[in-house]
Chains A and B, each alone.
Chain A
Amino acid sequence: MSAHVDSVKTYVLVFLALICLTVATTAVAFVNLGAFSVVAALGIATCKMLLVALFFMHVRHSSMLTRLIVLGGLLWLAILLLLTLGDMVSRGWVGVPGR
């Protein structure tokens, strides 16, 4: 599939970035950011995921089809989460007549 052979240096740099992000997410957890804590944690996790996917899994060299598949998977996960949470969150917004 990919004739690209990435250099060891590239991989090590990505690895170091991943370690830094791990340290960062652990440290940030001890800081009171209120509701933003979750955003920060998921944001950092997403960055790590992108690094692993793009570099270690070679998505940055991959075909359009592969990228479409990855996006499709994430999109479908989003559908599952968002529509279900949409129900959970909006319960009780409309009162029941007579009660």
Chain B
Amino acid sequence: MASESHAHEETLALREQFETEAQQKDASTLGMWIFLITEVMFFGGMFLAYTVYRRIYPEVFALASSSLNVYIGAANTVVLLCSSLTMVLAVRAAQLGKTKAIVAFLILTLILGGVFLGVKAYEWNEKFEEHHIPGASFHFEGMSPDQQAHAQLFFSLYFAMTGLHALHMIIGAGLLLYLIVHARRGVYANGYDTPVDLIGLYWHFVDIIWIFLFPLLYLIDRHMR
């Protein structure tokens, strides 16, 4: 009987279901983009909820938003943008097979991501101390009892959306660690850069989510305060 068609030995860059490395890279990239679209729809549901309630309770949302520190938020946005730069430079280094540069840029990205998460933790802690965490002890100074529930809606959405975003960052950090370990072993030194490329796409996508979260959550009618 003719042997099964293992036309080739299986390697990282060429798994047995594919014919060529280019086909594998193409397919993997396509897969990541489709995954990112599912993430768009996933976050999209929360953006919808946010939009609906901001429309119904504009003043309360504006007031609640003003209790967020816009400068910290902006600074954190800059941190994340820096991490996007270092990430794309890591991808570029992988395209060129430069192991040391890959590792360096990935580590920088990881650090910047860590800074972002640290700042987020600080902000959340601030909210905790101000009793702005939804639940039994929620209380927003200066609002009537009616408006408390609506302000709680704002903060629920704030925590849900930034929380979901932070979760994606943490997963991203884990993926970066994975890449760093493999990069140090020289796995991406010979033209096989797909994992770096794909995780780069993921990282940039998470950045784009924040690019929208920042103005929507922090910048509502700032001119009024």
Contacts and interface: CB of A to CB of B under 8 A. Distances in A.
A88 B215 contact: no
Interface of B: 25-26, 29-30, 33-34, 36-37, 40-41, 44-45, 47-48, 51-52, 55-56, 70, 74, 77-78, 81-82, 84-85, 87-89, 92, 95-96, 197, 200-201, 204-205, 207-208, 211-212, 214-216, 218-219, 221-224
A52 B36 contact: no
Contact of A85 (B51, B214, B221): B51
Contact of B89 (A11, A23, A29, A53): A11
Nearest to A5: B95
Interface string A61-90: 000011001101110110011001100110
A29 B95 CA distance: 40
A30 interface: yes
Contacts of A72: 37
28 contacts: A1-B26, A1-B197, A5-B96, A8-B89, A8-B92, A12-B85, A15-B82, A15-B84, A15-B85, A22-B74, A26-B74, A26-B219, A33-B223, A37-B223, A41-B215, A41-B219, A49-B212, A52-B204, A52-B207, A56-B85, A65-B30, A69-B30, A69-B37, A77-B40, A77-B44, A80-B45, A81-B47, A88-B52
| Residue from A18, A19, A65, A88 whose CB has the most chain B CB atoms within 10 Å | A18
A59 B40 CA distance: 16
Interface in A31-61: 31-33, 37, 41-42, 44-45, 48-49, 52-53, 55-57
Nearest to B205: A57
Interface residues on A, range: 35 or more
Nearest to A37: B221
B41 A30 contact: no
Nearest to A25: B215
A58 to B, nearest CB: 8
A73 B37 contact: yes
Nearest to A1: B29
Nearest to B36: A73
B44 A80 contact: yes
Contact of A18 (B37, B81, B87, B216): B81
A22 B212 contact: no
A19 B81 contact: yes
Contacts of A25: 214-215, 219
- Sort A-B residue pairs by CB-CB distance and give the 5 closest, nearest first: A73-B37, A29-B219, A41-B215, A29-B222, A15-B85
Contacts of B48: 80-81, 84-85
B90 to A, nearest CB: 11
Nearest to A55: B88
